[in-house]
Structure 1
Amino acid sequence: MNDTAPPLPVLLVDDSGPVRQRIRSLVEETQAATVIGEAAIAGTALALFQAHAPAAVILELGLAGASGLLAEIKRLSPACVVIMLGSSESTECRDFCLRRGADHYFSKHKEFERVPEVLRELHSTRTDRPSGGTKP
């Protein structure tokens, strides 16, 4: 990781305050990313996304009223990395999210700790490029 590169801007979207707090802690411990906004509802998430153009969004699967949010994020910024978090551990759920455009899906129960790993990798990938790098 390039220590002089600025941290990646990340948007957190989950309707649970304690979950957002846990994600924020994990994200900021990496030093590869920083949380630029948090949202508990889809409308706020979309407004924050449009205002801040984050490099990554951590999005709760099953957020009320957010059925089209993933598609809208990808439409607005195909290079934005979307990490979906959900309660299911099934491969069917993972595959569903990936088919819909998510870059990663992690179970909140067993894979939560993988989020920092993805963000560090993304930071390294983006900062190793000369300029204007986008998702590979």
Structure 2
Amino acid sequence: MMNQIHPLRILLADDSPAVRQALRWLLEDTSGFAVVGEASDGETAVQLSQDLLPDILILDIGLPHKNGFRVARLVKKQAPSVQIVILSGHGDATTRQLAAAVGVAGFVEKNEGWEALLAEIGRVIAQATNIVANC
């Protein structure tokens, strides 16, 4: 996980190149974050999660080849230390419940804005760090 010496390693998974580019700009302009990879489909997201072992996977639900729920389930099974934050245009209660059921640690609707995403990343990392410290 993140400490003062090493930045938080983030993998981006969204089928929109514009969203990935905007996320990369935001995160790389924020101290303590490093984008280590990008995926435009579910299969690539799963593979890169295994290969890169990021601290955080920012994941869209509507990915080709494997949807975000399936990606989350596979990533949590194969790389359980990866914390997953869903960034989606769908934020209804059912979608949030499905996300929680597959092991997602955080959820942000795209219309909530970048500050909400940064706050959710911070919350997820703080929670994960607290869990590790209490073990």
User: What TM-score bracket applies, with the shorter chain setting the length?
Assistant: 0.7 to 0.9
1:114 alignment partner AA: A
**Match of 2:98, as an amino acid?**
F
Compute the displacement of 1:125 (Å). 6.7
| 1:87 paired residue number | 89
1:124, distance to aligned residue in structure 2 (A): 5.9
Deviations 1:50-85 (A, max 9, x none): 221101100101212223211111011222110111
* Structure 1 range deviating more: 11-20 or 65-74: 65-74
Q: Partners in 1 of 2:100 and 2:109 — Cα distance?
A: 13
Q: Please give the TM-score of this superposition, normalised by the length of structure 2.
A: 0.81
Contact 1:13 1:45 in 2 (8 A): yes
Q: The residue matched to 1:35 in structure 2 has which SS?
A: strand
What's the RMSD between the two structures over aligned residues? Answer: 2.8
Q: Mind listing any 5+ residue stretches in structure 2 that lack a counterpart?
A: none
Aligned twin of 1:11: 11
Counterpart residue identity of residue 81, structure 2 = A
1:5, 1:127 within 8 Å by CA — same for their partners in 2?
no
Q: Which runs of 5+ in 1 are unaligned?
A: none
Specify whether residues 91 and 122 from structure 1 end up closer, same or farther in structure 2 by C-alpha distance, changes over 3 A only.
closer
Q: Which residue, out of 100, 103, 109, partners 2:111?
A: 109
Change (3 A) 1:45 1:26: same
- Where relative contact order (Cα < 8 A, 6+ residues apart) is larger, the structure is 1
User: 1:69 corresponds to which letter in structure 2?
Assistant: V
Q: Percent identity?
A: 27
- Larger helix proportion, structure 1 or 2? 2
